[in-house]
Amino acid sequence: MRRLYRDGLGALALVCCVCTSTAAAEDLIEFLNGSTATGTVKSIRKADREFDFEMNVGGRTFTRVFPFNKVHAVTYRGNRFELTPKVAADAAAEGSEGRSEAEVKALIAAAGATPPDWFESTPLDYPKTLDLSWPLKPPTPGWKSHKNMGQYIWSVINENPPRWRSGIKLIHHCVSLHQDDPVLLKRDMNALGSAYFRLMQDYARAAFWYQQGRPDMTTRDGIQLAECYWRLGNREMALKRLRRGPVNIGAIKLLGDMGELAWALRLTERYQNTNFDYQANILAADALRGAGRLDEALDYYQRVLDSKNFRNEDYKQRFLARARESMETIRLYEQADVSQVADGTYRGSSTGYNGKLTVAATVADGRLEAVKVVAHKEKQFYSALTDTPAQLLEKQSVRGIDGTTGATITAQAIVNATAQALAEGNQ
Amino acid sequence: MRRLAVALALSLLAAAVLMAGGSAIAQPSPAASTLPWFADLTPSQLLRGTLAGVLLVVAAAMVLAHFDRRTAALFRWDCFLPAIKRLRGGQTASRSALGRLVRRVVPGRLQSDWTTKRRGPLRRGLRWLGLSWSSAPVRRLVQSVSLLTFLILFFYVLWPYDARPAPPGERSADWTFQAVDQASGDFTFQGRTALPWQPAAGQTVYVSEPASAAIPDPVVEAFSFVSATDDEVRLAPAEDYGADLFDTFMMSTGTWTLSERDPQRWPSHLADNVAGKQWIPAETFLVIDPLVSLSTAIASRSWVWSLTSAAVILLICVLVPRGFCGYLCPLGTTIDLFDWAVGRRIQRFRVAGDGWWVHIKYYLLAGTLLCAVFGVLVSGFVAAIPVITRGMLFVFDPLQTGIARGWHQVPPVNLGQWISIGLFLAVLSLGLLRPRFWCKYVCPSGAVFSLGNLFRVSERKVESSCIHCNKCVEICPFDAIKPDFTTRTNDCTLCQSCAGVCPTHAIKFVDRWNVVELKAPNQPPTGETALGRRGFLSLAAGTAAAVGGASVAVGVTKAWGANVDDPDAFRPVRPPGSVPEKEFLEMCIRCGECFKACPNHVLQPEGFQQGLEGLWTPLVNADWAGCESSCNACGQVCPTGAIRQLPLEEKKAARMGLAIVNESTCLPFAGRGECDLCVQECNAAGYRAIEFKQVGTEIGADGQPIAGTGMAAPVVLADKCVGCGLCQTRCVAINVKAEGLLDASAIVIEAGEGKEDRKMSGSYRRQPEPQTPASTSNDSYYVPPQADPAPAAPADLPAAPIEDDNPFGL
């Protein structure tokens, strides 16, 4: 009886095997976003790196052409082939900790080899007057933002979010135009890395192009490459680059963000009594404040106030305002204790990247219910406008809020303004 | 029997007219929601419908006449209240079947007692209202309804301020595409939380790229809802979706936003509001004023769509000659009210009923049409409905706006408007000379109907029972009864007041060819020639006056005119969808309807900037307000097509002008301070036609720009700007008025060659220009060779799949 049962099971298993083998005649595509489709691979064009795929959906038959770089893997006639590593998708999940160096490198290489999703559908759109030969130095004196490419990036692309995608496409276009001129190419690729970093927060692609451009660590680009490594999940790669001799002043902020405060302060000391002391000091002070070392932070902010080396009046006003508001916020930390604040909605203002920023904070039953940026002039760093209020609500405190990537000043302004608003409600 | 046979024949003819072409009752094409329901009505449908209607009405009248007593008329239009007189036994007050029906239906205690001659409450009530009410109540009632309709169309339909934008709808972000269910074809999405709203099965759910300023044209796909669990939503694609839908979702690595309403939809609440309220066209009265369309068509030498409506009303007025003037014209009714309230109290200016002025209207009409022949449109100054429309606009619209929305919303009045108000008051004051002096002797629109009366099929007739009592002459509002009590057929409006006061019931309104029991003509003698009163003398003098007046008008207008061909001449910004300037000046009737329809008074009447030629034409005053993106009302109500009726899809692409930034005053350009008002306004309206440019950037010693220096200044994108003027309005409101920083707006809408789209026909939507060659090929994503991690396979491999271990060439 038992044997009979076992035989029956065997027969059943055999039937199952037959089933799976017929099912295996169907090919399976796994896309980079995790979705799958079954159908038949009709033909493969290795040279064009694409294949034709026929699938039956809802009773209709469709044939699509899929490029290799959009497909993670194909199970073709029972064998699975991985076409593109499934990392481009993970790159979006920034700050994932603990990737090995090899993983980070693979991720960067994979991302860099493929254009972003939007690349094809974005028009290449630039003024006819623009000089695409883009010499290293602007050939004509003065600011001609519709002629000189670098000035066009600065004046037009950076300023207009709707132009960011087409702007990056334009720099790509320059890269392909300058492929025979290594000097221009290096500059172009660094510009591309910078654009992916600043505008898209696409660290994998930014790192890829920076790696091609090999920026010096004394430039912002060099520091940003290090930051890419850190953001992509490998701290050691970032630190290794920062140890390579002299670094740009921006390293202070990066080190602060990474928690390497002692190093950051050592670096800051080198800038004392130079023309950049106020910049170094404010970066150090922000880092100390973020780490909760408030007394030292106040000390460094005071150094900013005491500086005599401001580049011009405009700089002076902005740095002084930021330092003062930050000191004020630290002093308000006690008063801005949400549990002490009476119910109601309070407003506070602070200086953002582009000017005054106003926040409305709503408190009910000793809890922060809502933080809303009601007025601002920020044109880029939108992420901070939603990200920072969310952090404030989560922590129920104005202390220890991280600066949103690439939007430190805006994030800090929101925190400062919220602290001010809460302090007002605590009087 | 003869009448029944003719009626049957006419009914068959009507049916034939309706069926002709087979498309008379054709399904209208699905009209855009932003236009009223009648936008799709074709002229031939309208004309055939009217002709059939007229024929059927005549047929019905003939059937009714068959049941009348003691009449040989083919049909009769009697709708007056007969003078009360004592009846003998067996005699009826009314011969007509309809009249007897009324007497049977109306309760007896309301009626007069015709054996004792005691007046009933109905007649006494009407008599209390006035003699004209008790003699021809139907006419007075129609007049009242007509004036009321005019006022409702003008003051209620064209008052869109109750319109509210559609609510934004629910939205949920961070959904990832999971898979296509290949069995059912459904797309599944996974989210972090459940959908915040519960769509019904089949309800549309929009899937779009996440909203971001960096994505100017996000992908939006409409799906219909199938089912949802806590964090998964199942959606069915639209019926016949394209295969590229798979590419969109399968090959993308981003997240999606699910929305209840189309996140990219263009607001249309103002257009919908005006379109929805128009159960009949807001400009109904303007389009049935035949002089409006006739003169416009002549002046512009083009087909004017309202000619159809003019034909319709002229066709109807074949039945009721000059019925427009007697029954419908709101100006006539207003003049009646003025005469009743003011005119009858002031007798000192009265003139005789006969004089050189009695034929002015014909010569005015001749002069107007003569001007039109030379391309100068003056009919708007004198045609009946434009006069009353402008009168209402300039006198009562400021009151309505001031009281309902605040006096600060009333735009300032220019000289041209005062002239129009003066003209309106002058038309009313003519009533001091004689009641309805304007209508009888001056109105050129009325003259068109008078000429149309030559084709009348019905007529006022006087029977031999006339006792020469003169009551009819006294009550006639149109001076249409000769001294012998017969009819001046060109002037009679069939108002029937005369019949109501006739003590012997001698007046009837029957077919033109009825000659039964008629009174002998020219008794007493009238002294009128075949050409009417005044005869040849007036014909010669009048023609001379018409020709002279027309040539002066043409000369003055052209000499101090718009100089359309001169590039330096004043070029006002016209409403969206205006035809080319030369045609615009020939087609704009200056009725003022668009000013009334325009929310916030963006459109204002031009003064003398273009001389006489541009007087009262609409121009965009962007200092006052900007053109609302969700509105197309001006085109909806324009009676002549000078402003084309555009669905919102077209209107939002039609360029009225181009915003020009004054770089010497604009605050950031001048280095005076940060300002992005115009950009904010433009983005909020949805055009996104102004972008930023960093100006005043300082350059460091290294040639690099210094961060933090310079300011973002506005730059207008000429291919996106439609010249709505919202930016200018905002600059004026804040920088000029509130802050006092500027003397005039630093961004100004300008019209002129290349800055505006002025088309007689065709679409305004710009076709995407072919891309520069580099962008079409994908080699612009160039990766330097040493970095390419996956070198391309050798090109000589066969294209077909081959049995190898490495089919993908990895």
Average pLDDT over every residue of B98-112? 87
Given this model, what pLDDT does residue B481 score?
92
Q: What is the pLDDT of residues B512-557, one digit of tens each?
A: 988 888 888 888 887 777 666 666 667 788 888 888 888 888 888 8
Given this model, what pLDDT does residue A19 score?
40
Please say if the pLDDT value at position B613 is more than 90.
no
Q: What letter represents residue B94's amino acid?
A: S
Mutate which: B176, B667, B692, B776, vs A, most A CBs within 10 A: B692
Rounded CA separation B686/B740 (Å): 28
| A47 Cβ neighbours under 8 A, 6+ residues apart | B792, B793, B794, B795, B797, B799
| Percentage of residues of chain B with pLDDT beyond 90 | 50
Please say if the pLDDT value at position B73 is more than 90.
no
Please say if the pLDDT value at position A364 is more than 70.
yes
Given this model, what pLDDT does residue A380 score?
58
Residue A347: CB atoms within 10 A of its CB come to 17
Residues of B with Cβ-Cβ distance to A322 under 8 angstroms: none
**Do A227 and A326 have their domain in common?**
no
Among A348-357, A365-374, B756-765, B769-778, which stretch is predicted with the lowest mean pLDDT?
B769-778
From the CA of B582, how many Å to the nearest CA of chain A?
Answer: 34
Q: Which residue, of B703, B730, B750, is where some domain finishes?
A: B750
Rounded CA separation B727/B351 (Å): 57
Given this model, what pLDDT does residue A341 score?
82
**Do A166 and A241 have their domain in common?**
yes
Q: What is the pLDDT of residues B562-572, one digit of tens each?
A: 788 888 888 99
Q: What is the CATH number of the domain that holds A115?
A: 1.25.40
From the CA of A292, how many Å to the nearest CA of chain B?
Answer: 29
**Do A324 and A287 have their domain in common?**
yes
Residues of A with Cβ-Cβ distance to B787 under 8 angstroms: 109, 112, 208, 211-212
Given this model, what pLDDT does residue B770 score?
55
**How many structural domains is chain B composed of?**
2
**Do A237 and A272 have their domain in common?**
no
Closest CA to B230 of B259, B186, B193: B193
Say if the Cβ atoms of A47 and B792 lie within 8 Å. Answer: yes
Residue B28's pLDDT band (cuts 50, 70, 90): very low
DSSP state of B174: E
Given this model, what pLDDT does residue B786 score?
58
**Do A105 and A78 have their domain in common?**
no
Residue B248's pLDDT band (cuts 50, 70, 90): confident
Given this model, what pLDDT does residue A14 score?
42
| Average pLDDT score, chain A | 82
Please say if the pLDDT value at position B172 is more than 50.
yes
Rounded CA separation B150/B137 (Å): 20
Length of chain B in residues, anyone? 810
B697, B780, B799: residue with CB nearest A143: B697
**Do A280 and A319 have their domain in common?**
yes
Q: What is the CATH number of the domain that holds B722?
A: 3.30.70.20
Q: What is the pLDDT of residues A137-168, one digit of tens each?
A: 887 777 888 888 988 998 899 888 889 999 99
Q: Which residue, of A50, A82, A114, is where some domain finishes?
A: A82
Question: B561 exposed, middle or buried (CB, 10 Å; 0-12, 13-18, 19+)?
Answer: middle
Average pLDDT over every residue of B683-711? 81
Structural domain of residue A200, as residue ranges?
Answer: 101-248
Q: Does residue B382 belong to any structural domain of this protein?
A: no
Residue B108's pLDDT band (cuts 50, 70, 90): confident
Please say if the pLDDT value at position B311 is more than 80.
yes
Please say if the pLDDT value at position A87 is more than 70.
no
B178, B778, B799: residue with CB nearest A35: B178
Given this model, what pLDDT does residue A405 score?
58
Q: Does residue B308 belong to any structural domain of this protein?
A: no
Residue B783's pLDDT band (cuts 50, 70, 90): confident
Residues of A with Cβ-Cβ distance to B186 under 8 angstroms: 58
Q: What is the CATH number of the domain that holds A52?
A: 2.30.30
Over the range B428-443, which residues count as b (16 or more CB within 10 Å of their CB) and which as e? bbbbbbbbbbbbbbbb
Please say if the pLDDT value at position B576 is more than 70.
yes
**How many structural domains is chain A composed of?**
4
Average pLDDT over every residue of B308-326? 91
Please say if the pLDDT value at position B345 is more than 50.
yes
Q: Which residue, of B266, B295, B325, is where some domain finishes?
A: B266
Q: Which residue, of B750, B767, B788, is where some domain finishes?
A: B750
Among A84-88, A358-362, B322-326, which stretch is predicted with the lowest mean pLDDT?
A84-88
| Percentage of residues of chain A with pLDDT beyond 90 | 20
**Do A161 and A244 have their domain in common?**
yes
**Do A344 and A362 have their domain in common?**
yes
Contact A51, A65 (CB under 8 A): yes
Closest CA to B254 of A384, A166, A68, A117: A117
**C-alpha dihedral (A240, A243, A249, A250), degrees to nearest 10:** 10
Phi and psi at B562, nearest 5°, equal -85, -20
Given this model, what pLDDT does residue B768 score?
63
**Do A418 and A381 have their domain in common?**
yes
Say if the Cβ atoms of B254 and A92 lie within 8 Å. Answer: yes
Contact B78, B496 (CB under 8 A): yes
Q: Does residue A188 belong to any structural domain of this protein?
A: yes
Given this model, what pLDDT does residue B535 score?
66
Average pLDDT over every residue of B573-589? 93
Nearest chain B alpha carbon to A177? B780
Given this model, what pLDDT does residue B702 score?
66
**Do A64 and A120 have their domain in common?**
no
Given this model, what pLDDT does residue B589 score?
92
Structural domain of residue B681, as residue ranges?
Answer: 658-750
From the CA of A174, how many Å to the nearest CA of chain B?
Answer: 8
From the CA of A54, how many Å to the nearest CA of chain B?
Answer: 11
Average pLDDT over every residue of B141-165? 94
**Do A311 and A398 have their domain in common?**
no
Please say if the pLDDT value at position A21 is more than 50.
no
Residues of B with Cβ-Cβ distance to A82 under 8 angstroms: 810
Q: What is the pLDDT of residues A257-306, one digit of tens each?
A: 888 889 999 999 988 888 888 889 999 998 888 888 888 999 999 999 98
Closest CA to B477 of B437, B430, B447: B437
**How many degrees, rounded to 5, is the angle at CA B574 between CA B383 and CA B300?**
50
| Average pLDDT score, chain B | 87
Given this model, what pLDDT does residue B536 score?
60
Q: What is the pLDDT of residues B78-96, one digit of tens each?
A: 888 888 888 877 777 777 7
**CA–CA distances in Å: residue B252 to residues A34, A201, B156, B209:** 10, 17, 51, 10
Average pLDDT over every residue of A82-97? 58
Say if the Cβ atoms of A47 and B688 lie within 8 Å. Answer: no
Please say if the pLDDT value at position A53 is more than 80.
yes
Question: Tokens representing A237?
Answer: 């790669």
Average pLDDT over every residue of A110-122? 84
**CA–CA distances in Å: residue A137 to residues A69, A148, A150:** 37, 9, 9
* Residue B707 touches partner A, C-beta closer than 8 Å: no
Given this model, what pLDDT does residue B145 score?
97
Q: Does residue B145 belong to any structural domain of this protein?
A: no
Among A89-103, A190-204, B54-68, B600-614, which stretch is predicted with the lowest mean pLDDT?
A89-103
Q: What is the CATH number of the domain that holds A368?
A: 3.90.1010.20
From the CA of A254, how many Å to the nearest CA of chain B?
Answer: 19
A31, A189, A355: residue with CB nearest B250: A31
Average pLDDT over every residue of B13-36? 65
Contact B291, B448 (CB under 8 A): yes
